Amino acid sequence: MIGALLRRQVRLLGRLLAITFAGLAGFEFLAIHVAEAFEKGPGLAQLFRMLPQVVQDVVTSQVGPVSFPALVAAAFLDPVPYAACIGVIVLVATLPAGERESGLLDLFLARPLSRRRYLLACLLLVALVACVLPLALLLGAALGLARVEMTDELPWTRYAPCALGLSALLLALGAITLLLAVESRRRGQAVARAVALVLALYLLDASSKFWPALADWGVLSPFRWFVPVRSAMEGTWPLREVSVLLAVALVASAIALWRFDARDLD
């Protein structure tokens, strides 16, 4: 029953996922070629020094020393793919609130389908999307790097840890959003709460890097535990960071299952 429900949900979202996947892969592909053009021209480091100091500080806090390999990884942090990935995750994770609002949830639960199995299907869908979308960026990186003419060969596998980290981040945010959806009667309400919370967590992470008063609070944001540039530049797998994000996802999922079982859905 879980498999049938999961297949139904995938069919409903298939076109959106396909368009988002192609867009993410194309964005990474183009980003690599733009970075290559600047590197072959005046040089990324020289262009970076021409920027205002405030902009330099912001970029350095996210990317570190500017270089072509770092900018390939920084595309995983770019606002465009960030917004696309998180937007799709929020849409997927608020599915229970949408089906509750439309009355479909009552029809599903009227069948021999328990609440727990229904929500497990939603969790599996969130996990599937959280794994697929970062693969699009990794595919774009692989295609882009295959066509780049640089003196030093840059393997696409160097950016696999970036995709892993982004998957863990999306899974954590998806589980938190699912918890908000369980507590909401309408999808619009759940989406608004999720967007507000995600934006607050993102601003907390960004502000903690510049304001000493918030430095110790930045660890509370899931975004603090996504470190694609450091992973790519050091050639290491972010196992500690991924473990933290997976723990957040597990805790949020467990609370969502508990609340969904106990909640009055009328």
Q: What is the pLDDT along the chain (266 residues), one digit of tens a residue?
A: 566 767 777 787 888 999 999 999 999 998 887 777 666 555 555 555 555 555 445 555 555 555 677 778 878 888 889 899 999 999 999 988 887 777 766 666 666 667 788 888 889 999 999 999 999 999 999 998 888 765 466 788 889 999 999 999 999 999 999 999 998 888 889 999 999 999 999 999 888 877 877 778 888 999 999 988 888 878 889 999 999 999 999 999 999 988 887 766 65
Number of structural domains (the chain) is 1
Q: What is the DSSP letter of 112?
A: S
Provide the domain limits for residue 244: 2-262
What 3-state DSSP class applies to 154? coil
Cβ atoms of residues 87 and 54 within 8 Å: no
Taking the whole predicted model, whether its pTM rises above 0.75 is answered as yes
Distance CA 80, CA 78 (A): 6
Tokens, residue 88? 């799709």
Tokens, residue 242? 């991924």
Distance CA 83, CA 86 (A): 5
The residue written with tokens 């990324």 in the block is: 44
